[in-house]
Amino acid sequence: MKPLREVAQAYMALAEAQRQLRDGSFEDAAANCRKAMEVSRQMPPGEAFDHDGFDAFCHAGLAEALARLGICDESLQSADLALRYFNRRGELNQDDGKLWIMAVLSRAIALDGLGRGRDALTEYRKASEMLAERKAEMPGREKLTTEAAARIAELERMVKPEKPAGYKAWWEFWS
């Protein structure tokens, strides 16, 4: 039998964090994501609880909150932890898919904030594609799509291509 009190407290903290993210209370959302993970770790080790999945949900929220606060190093770490789970799982249900998209977008924002434009551009493109393919409704989808498109356009101007347009290596002229 699962310790219902801990499970309920953990999910309540995560739900509160999701509400706070929608409302723009990023510091409170980060605190609730951390609280949710803390509470979930109080369960006895033998209990049937998907700690990896729950932590991924919490890290997705934490990554978003930290990215919006400009705490890019920690945001990137949380996004990577969440994506390790989501990428391994593949196709997820509707709610999990939203968190997966937000983890990718948070990773892009964090990389962008760390000055890693080329990597951020790749992640923004991935997030934009995921948002475009999203069949179900997602709160703020249009705003997120617009934000990703704007950052893609800006980064494309800033990031120099690895090879100039029309570039050919010396041996390609002879073939």
Q: What is the pLDDT of residues 151-162, one digit of tens each?
A: 999 999 887 666
Neighbours of 130 (CB within 10 A): 19
pTM (whole model) above 0.85: no
Helices (H), 24-138: 26-40, 51-69, 72-89, 94-113, 117-133
Instruction: Give the containing element (helix H, strand E) for 20.
Output: helix 4-23
pLDDT, greater one: 159 or 84: 84
Amino acid type, 38 = E
What share of the chain has pLDDT > 90, as a percent?
A: 57
Q: Report residue 16's pLDDT band, with 50, 70 and 90 as the boundaries.
A: very high
Residue range 94-112: average pLDDT? Answer: 88
Nearest to 150 by CA among 126, 132, 124: 124
Q: What is the pLDDT of residues 126-157, one digit of tens each?
A: 999 988 887 557 778 888 889 999 999 999 98
